Chains A and B, each alone.
Chain A
Amino acid sequence: MRSFTYERAKSPREAAAAVAADPTARFIAGGTNLLDLMKLEIETPARLVDVNGLKLDEIAPTKDGGLRIGALVRNTDMAADKRVRKDYGVLSRALLAGASGQLRNKATTAGNLLQRTRCPYFYDTNMPCNKRTPGAGCSAIGGFTRTLAVLGASEACIATHPSDMAVALRLLDATVQTVTPDGTERSIPIADFHRLPGDTPQVETALARGELITSVTLPKPIGGRHTYRKVRDRASYAFALVSVASVIQKDGSGRIALGGVAHKPWRVEAAEAALPRGAKAISEGLLAGARTTAQNGFKLTLAERAIGAALAEARA
C-alpha cells in the first residue's frame, strides 16, 4: 500500500471537486474493496477522501412512491429496511446473499455498485491485465475461466461484476444519482451505469472523474413474487457462479436479471416477453450471443435451470 493523505469530506460537492482536481485522489466509504485492492497495490491512491460523514445514509420515500437509498446506507441496513423487505424483496435477498455479515455492516450502496471484479488474474499483479494496465493483455483468456464471463465479454477482458445488489437494482430499474465536480446533479439509469469491457475494460462505469454517487432511487414497487437465486459451490460467503434475480407476476409475466455472467448485471428486456413460456424460452433471448470456454460453458445450462428454479419458486 502506497502512502496516502487522508481527509474527511465536508460536502458531496466539495468531495467531488477535490477528487476531480487530483488524479491521485479516491473516495473511500466502507473501504471493504478499496483497502483490499490497495494492499495489493492494484489501487494506489495518494489521497483518500472519506465521504462517510456526508449524511448520505438515509432511506426515504420519493414523491412518486419509490424509495431513495442513500449512497452511504450500509448493505445490512438496506437489506433490513422494512420497506425494502416488503416491496423490494429481491433487493433485500440479493444483499443478504452477498459477502458476510461483517462486510455488509461496512459496505455501502455506492461502494457495492463500484466494487471491482474478482477475476484472479486482476488480483495478481504479476499477471498482465487490461484493467490494471490498459494494453497489457488479458491473462485470464486461455487460463482459469470457470468463474468468468460468458456474455458481453471482449478480447480485452472476460471479467465479471461481482455484485449481487447491482443485479437486483438492474431488475428493479433503479437509477443512480450523482453529484458532479461542478455541483450539478445527474441521474443515471442502472442499465447505463455499468459498462461492458470492449476495448477499455478499465472504464467500468459511466461516472466521470470525481463524480460522486449520492443515492440510488427505486421506482415505485411493482409487486409480484421476488426471488434472488444465487448459485455457488460453497453454501455462503462466496461469489456467484450464476445468480438470478426475478420478479414474477401472477400472470406469469415478469423480469429476470443475471449475475455472475458478465461485466455488468445482465438483463435483456426484449427477452422477457417469453417469460410466461418458461425458462428455456426466456433463456434463448437472454443468453443469445454467449461465448463460452470449456470451463464456463456450464453457466448457460445453470442459468437456464436457475431461472427454472426461480419460476418454480414463484409459482409455489
Chain B
Amino acid sequence: MKFDTPATTNPIDQLKVVGKPVDRIDGPMKTTGRAPYAYERHDAIPDIAYGYVVGASIAKGRIASMDLARAKAAPGVLAIVTAAEAGKLTKGDFNTAMLLGGPEIEHYHQAVAVVVAETFEQARAAANLVKVEYVRAKGTFDLASAKDGATKPKDGGPDSGVGDFEAAFAAAPVKLDETYTTPDHGHAMMEPHASIAAWKGDKLSLWTSNQMIAWGAGDVAKTLGVPRENVRLMSPFIGGGFGGKLFVRADAILAALGAKAAGRPVKVALTRPLMFNNTTHRPATIQRIRIGTDRDGRITAIGHESWSGDLPGGGPETAVQQTRLLYAGANRMTRTRLAVLDLPEGNAMRAPGEAPGLMALEVAVDEMAEKLGMDPVDFRILNDTQVDPEKPSRPFSQRRLNECLRTGADKFGWSRRSRTPGQTRDGRWLVGMGVAAAFRNNLVMKSAARVRLETSGVVTVETDMTDIGTGSYTIIAQTAAEMMGVPLTSVNVRLGDSSFPVSAGSGGQWGANSSTAGVYAACVKLREAVATKLGLDPAAAEFADGRVKVGNQSLPLAQAAAAGPVTAEDFMEYGDLTKTHQQSTFGGHFVEVGVDAWTAEIRIRRMLAVCAAGRILNPKSARSQVIGAMVMGAGAALMEELVVDKRIGFFVNHDLAGYEVPVHADIPHQEVIFLDETDPMSSPMKAKGVGELGICGVGAAVANAIYNATGVRVREYPVTLDKLLEGMPVLA
C-alpha cells in the first residue's frame, strides 16, 4: 500500500482500542522475569559455550604480536578467535570501525579476540591471559584542537543558507554570539550488547539484542561473507537501545565466529566496562550560535554552526538540524563540520542531532530573550513559523508549538517565575524555572507485516519490528484489534525475527507510526480476504465484536478461517507528502530546579512536557516514552559526560559508577500533556513519533532553570556544581 494522499476516515478512527491507555501486553512477562532477552535463550538452544571479548588497550596503532598460548592452554578453553584466524571480514554497511580489530587498531577497547570456554568463569579468566603487543600510533583525541582542521562532510547537506546571514546579523540591533559545548554521551542501556550464535551447516541463527533486524541481518551476512538468506536474527526482547543497538556490534560477530571455531553454540555479552569504548556513543559537539533580532524581538538573522568528530569514514552529529526549521527569520545559515578523531565510533543516540542541538539552541534563545527583556515563552511564540523557513512554500503538516508553550506555561505556573535570576529562595535552595521548545522531525519508513486469522479466531501479527521498551507489542496489537474488530486479548504479536516481513525497525522515533501503518496495510488486505471468504462485499464489510457485518448480514470472523488460517501480507510505503509538507513533532518543556545556596548541588523539583505529536496511539506507553526521554535529558544536563583522556585517547569513566546517569532520587514526579491532535499527512494512523521528542530541549530547560535560580550561565554541559560555585552567593 502506498500512502501518497492525506488520510481520510478509516477503521482506526473508531478508536475503540487505538488511542486507549491500555496496559502493555508484554507487561506480565517483563514484571515476572519471564521475558527472555538475548543472552537468556536456554529455551531455544542447548549446550551453549561462553565467549569473552578482549578489548584493545591502545587507541590507535597496530598489533605487533599476540601470544595466545597460555590462554589456549587454560582450563575449559574451546577456541580463541582473533582477526588473524577469522578469515576475511568485511566491514558492515552501518559500522565505521571493524568489529574485530587487528592488525590495525582503530580505537580503545576495539575487540581484538574472543575466548570461548565451557563456562563463563573459564572464558573470563582465559581472556585475561591473552597477551598482545601493540605498536602505538599518534592519534587525535581532542575535538577543540581538531576543530580548525574539521572539514565539510560530503553527504547530508552540511550547509544551508537563506538570504544574507552575515549582513543581517551585523545590522541587527540586538544580537547574541555564543559558543556551547556538549560532551560525548553513552547510551548506557541496562542490557549489555549480547548475542547467542548457533550454526547449522552454513546457516547461522543469532539471538541478539538489536533494534533494526533487517539492517542487522544484512550486516552480519556482509561482515562474515555469508549469503544473507543464511542468517536469521531473533530479537524479541531488547533491554534498551537508544540507538546503541541500531547496528550489529562485536557481540554478534564474535559469537558467530566463536561458534564456528568451537563447533558449538556460543554466547557473548559485552562487559559493562568494555561497552563505553567498544561500542558507539553520541559525539561531543562545539556549537556556535548567532541570533540577531530587531528591537521588538523578531529574529532577522539566525546562524548555527556545529563541530563534532568521528573516526575516519564516520559522520557528524547533525546538531544544527532543528535550527533550519524551528524559528522564523529571513536570513539564515547553518554549517556542520566534521573532524577526524581516533576516539571510539560516534553514532546515533536518542534524537541524534536535535538532542545536543537543542541543548545549545534553546539556551541561546533563553539568553536572547533576556537581552531583549522578553519572557522566553513570548519570545519563542513571537518567532513561530508555520512554514519551512528555508522554503516558505512548504507548510508544516501540523505545528502547534505555540499552544504547547502556552498550555505548559499555564499549567506549570510560569507566571510565578522571577524574571531576574537569583531571586527566589526556599530555605537553603535557590529556585528557578526554565523553559525550552521541544522539536523533532517525524520520519516515515517503509514497513511490512504479515497478519493471519487463525482457526481459533485469534489474529497473529508477524513483523520484524522491535520493541525496545517503546511499547511496539502493545500498539501493534491495538492496531490489529481495531482493524479486525477483535479484543486486544485475541491478538498475538510476534516481533523481532528476520524471517518476518521487514519493518521500519526502532529508530529515529519513526517506529510507532511506521510499523503500525504497515500492520494497518496488512490488515486491510486481510479484511478483504476474510470478507471474500465469507462471501461478503469487502468494500462494505465492517469488522466489530469478532464479527464481520454487511447490512443485516453478520458472520463470526473466525468462520473465515474454518478451513484453515487466512494470511495477508503487505507494507506501507510513502509518497511525496514528506516533501510537500514538513512533518515534525513539537513540545514545550518546563522545569523547576533548586540549587543549594551553599554547595551548588542541583536538584530537579518539577518537570512538565506538553507535546503535540499527532495521534497518540497509547497514551500510557507514549507518556512513558516522554518521561523516560526527559530523564535522559536531565542526565545530559546535569551529569552525563564520557570524559576523554586526551593523552591516551579513551573514555576514562567507562562503567556505571564513573558514567553517572540519573537515579530515582534525581527525578521528581513528571507531568506530560499531549495535545489532542491527528496528523493525516503522516499515515493512516495519523500518528507521529514521540519517543525522542521528550529528550529534545529538556536539557536546555534544565540549564535555563539553573540560570534563573542562580544567575550563573553555564555553556559547557553538563552543568555541574563546580561550574556554578564561583558565582554562588557569599554566605556566612
Q: Do chains A and B make direct contact within the complex (CB under 8 angstroms)?
A: yes
Interface residues of A (CB under 8 A from B): 1-3, 39-41, 118, 120-121, 123-124, 126-127, 139, 142-144, 146, 229, 231-239, 241, 278, 298, 301-302, 305-306, 308-309, 312
| Residues B601 and A144 in contact, CB atoms below 8 Å apart | no
Chain B residue contacts of A143, Cβ below 8 A: 645, 647-648, 652
| Residues A234 and B666 in contact, CB atoms below 8 Å apart | yes
| Residues B128 and A41 in contact, CB atoms below 8 Å apart | yes
Chain B residue contacts of A233, Cβ below 8 A: 638-639, 660, 718, 720-721
Q: Does B670 contact A (CB under 8 A)?
A: no
Give 9 CB contacts A-B under 8 Å: A118-B657, A124-B273, A143-B647, A144-B653, A233-B720, A234-B663, A234-B665, A239-B657, A302-B722
| Residues A238 and B660 in contact, CB atoms below 8 Å apart | yes
Bound-state CA distance A167–B343 (Å) is 38
| Residues A235 and B596 in contact, CB atoms below 8 Å apart | no
Chain A residue contacts of B57, Cβ below 8 A: 126
Residue of B nearest to A309 (CB): B598
Contacting residue for A3 out of B125, B654, B725, B728, CB 8 A:
B125
With A142-B647, A234-B660, A302-B725 as known contacts, state yes or no: A123 contacts B128, CB within 8 Å: no
Bound-state CA distance A123–B273 (Å) is 9
Residue of A nearest to B658 (CB): A120
Taking each of B638, B658, B665, which has the highest tally of chain A beta carbons within 10 Å of its own beta carbon? B658
Could you tell me the distance in whole angstroms from the C-beta of B722 to the nearest C-beta in chain A? 4
Q: Does B664 contact A (CB under 8 A)?
A: yes
Interface bits B204-232 vs A (CB < 8 Å: 1, else 0): 00000000000000000000000000000
Residue of A nearest to B655 (CB): A123
| Residues B662 and A234 in contact, CB atoms below 8 Å apart | yes
Residue of A nearest to B127 (CB): A41
Chain B residue contacts of A238, Cβ below 8 A: 657, 660
Chain A residue contacts of B167, Cβ below 8 A: none
Residue of A nearest to B725 (CB): A301
Interface residues of B (CB under 8 A from A): 57, 75, 121, 124-125, 128, 273, 428, 596, 598-601, 603, 638-639, 643, 645, 647-648, 652-655, 657-658, 660, 662-666, 718, 720-722, 725-726, 728, 731-732
Bound-state CA distance A231–B603 (Å) is 12
Could you tell me the distance in whole angstroms from the C-beta of A159 to the nearest C-beta in chain B? 14
Residue of B nearest to A40 (CB): B273
| Residues A308 and B731 in contact, CB atoms below 8 Å apart | yes
Known: A233-B639, A237-B663. 8 other contacts (CB 8 A): A3-B125, A118-B657, A121-B652, A144-B643, A235-B663, A301-B725, A302-B599, A305-B728
Pairs A-B, 9 closest by C-beta atoms: A309-B598, A126-B57, A298-B722, A235-B665, A236-B665, A144-B652, A233-B639, A235-B666, A144-B643
Bound-state CA distance A301–B726 (Å) is 8
| Residues A139 and B428 in contact, CB atoms below 8 Å apart | no
Taking each of B125, B601, B639, B664, which has the highest tally of chain A beta carbons within 10 Å of its own beta carbon? B601
Could you tell me the distance in whole angstroms from the C-beta of B415 to the nearest C-beta in chain A? 29
Could you tell me the distance in whole angstroms from the C-beta of A283 to the nearest C-beta in chain B? 13
| Residues B596 and A309 in contact, CB atoms below 8 Å apart | yes
Bound-state CA distance A143–B125 (Å) is 29
Chain A residue contacts of B722, Cβ below 8 A: 146, 241, 298, 302
| Residues A306 and B598 in contact, CB atoms below 8 Å apart | yes
Bound-state CA distance A312–B732 (Å) is 9
Bound-state CA distance A309–B599 (Å) is 8
Could you tell me the distance in whole angstroms from the C-beta of B411 to the nearest C-beta in chain A? 25
Chain A residue contacts of B603, Cβ below 8 A: 235
Residue of A nearest to B656 (CB): A237
Chain B residue contacts of A231, Cβ below 8 A: 599, 601, 721
Bound-state CA distance A237–B666 (Å) is 10
Bound-state CA distance A273–B731 (Å) is 21
Residue of B nearest to A299 (CB): B722
Chain A residue contacts of B273, Cβ below 8 A: 40, 123-124
Could you tell me the distance in whole angstroms from the C-beta of B653 to the nearest C-beta in chain A? 6
Bound-state CA distance A3–B128 (Å) is 12
Chain B residue contacts of A305, Cβ below 8 A: 598-600, 725, 728, 731
Chain B residue contacts of A306, Cβ below 8 A: 598-599
| Residues A139 and B648 in contact, CB atoms below 8 Å apart | yes
Residue of B nearest to A100 (CB): B663
Could you tell me the distance in whole angstroms from the C-beta of B262 to the nearest C-beta in chain A? 21
Residue of A nearest to B598 (CB): A309
| Residues B125 and A124 in contact, CB atoms below 8 Å apart | no
Bound-state CA distance A238–B596 (Å) is 18
Could you tell me the distance in whole angstroms from the C-beta of B139 to the nearest C-beta in chain A? 15
| Residues A236 and B664 in contact, CB atoms below 8 Å apart | yes
Contacting residue for B645 out of A118, A144, A232, CB 8 A:
A144
Chain A residue contacts of B720, Cβ below 8 A: 233
Contacting residue for A302 out of B645, B655, B721, B731, CB 8 A:
B721
Bound-state CA distance A120–B652 (Å) is 6
Chain B residue contacts of A232, Cβ below 8 A: 601
Chain A residue contacts of B75, Cβ below 8 A: 3
Contacting residue for A2 out of B125, B598, B664, B666, CB 8 A:
B125
Residue of A nearest to B659 (CB): A120
Bound-state CA distance A298–B723 (Å) is 9
Bound-state CA distance A42–B130 (Å) is 16
Bound-state CA distance A211–B726 (Å) is 46
Residue of B nearest to A296 (CB): B722
Bound-state CA distance A286–B639 (Å) is 29
Could you tell me the distance in whole angstroms from the C-beta of B648 to the nearest C-beta in chain A? 7
Bound-state CA distance A40–B645 (Å) is 20
Could you tell me the distance in whole angstroms from the C-beta of B54 to the nearest C-beta in chain A? 11
Taking each of A1, A231, A234, A309, which has the highest tally of chain B beta carbons within 10 Å of its own beta carbon? A234
Bound-state CA distance A236–B601 (Å) is 12
With A120-B653, A126-B57 as known contacts, state yes or no: A278 contacts B128, CB within 8 Å: no
Chain A residue contacts of B666, Cβ below 8 A: 234-236
Could you tell me the distance in whole angstroms from the C-beta of A31 to the nearest C-beta in chain B? 15
| Residues B663 and A309 in contact, CB atoms below 8 Å apart | no
Bound-state CA distance A298–B722 (Å) is 6
Chain A residue contacts of B732, Cβ below 8 A: 278, 308, 312
Bound-state CA distance A180–B340 (Å) is 58
Could you tell me the distance in whole angstroms from the C-beta of A61 to the nearest C-beta in chain B? 35
Chain A residue contacts of B648, Cβ below 8 A: 127, 139, 143
Residue of A nearest to B596 (CB): A309
Chain B residue contacts of A144, Cβ below 8 A: 643, 645, 652-653
Bound-state CA distance A40–B652 (Å) is 15
| Residues B663 and A236 in contact, CB atoms below 8 Å apart | yes
Bound-state CA distance A118–B75 (Å) is 32
Chain B residue contacts of A301, Cβ below 8 A: 725-726
Residue of B nearest to A232 (CB): B601
Could you tell me the distance in whole angstroms from the C-beta of A150 to the nearest C-beta in chain B? 12
Bound-state CA distance A168–B732 (Å) is 25
Bound-state CA distance A273–B125 (Å) is 54
Residue of A nearest to B722 (CB): A298
Could you tell me the distance in whole angstroms from the C-beta of B541 to the nearest C-beta in chain A? 57
Chain B residue contacts of A308, Cβ below 8 A: 598, 731-732
Could you tell me the distance in whole angstroms from the C-beta of A264 to the nearest C-beta in chain B? 21
Residue of A nearest to B603 (CB): A235
Bound-state CA distance A2–B643 (Å) is 30
Chain A residue contacts of B655, Cβ below 8 A: 123
Could you tell me the distance in whole angstroms from the C-beta of B154 to the nearest C-beta in chain A? 34
Chain A residue contacts of B662, Cβ below 8 A: 234
Chain B residue contacts of A40, Cβ below 8 A: 273
Bound-state CA distance A309–B596 (Å) is 9
Chain B residue contacts of A1, Cβ below 8 A: 121, 124-125
Bound-state CA distance A121–B726 (Å) is 29
Could you tell me the distance in whole angstroms from the C-beta of B720 to the nearest C-beta in chain A? 5
Residue of B nearest to A239 (CB): B657
Could you tell me the distance in whole angstroms from the C-beta of A43 to the nearest C-beta in chain B? 13
Could you tell me the distance in whole angstroms from the C-beta of A217 to the nearest C-beta in chain B? 31
Could you tell me the distance in whole angstroms from the C-beta of B227 to the nearest C-beta in chain A? 38
Could you tell me the distance in whole angstroms from the C-beta of A58 to the nearest C-beta in chain B? 32
Chain A residue contacts of B128, Cβ below 8 A: 2, 41
Bound-state CA distance A5–B731 (Å) is 57
Bound-state CA distance A241–B666 (Å) is 17
Bound-state CA distance A234–B638 (Å) is 8
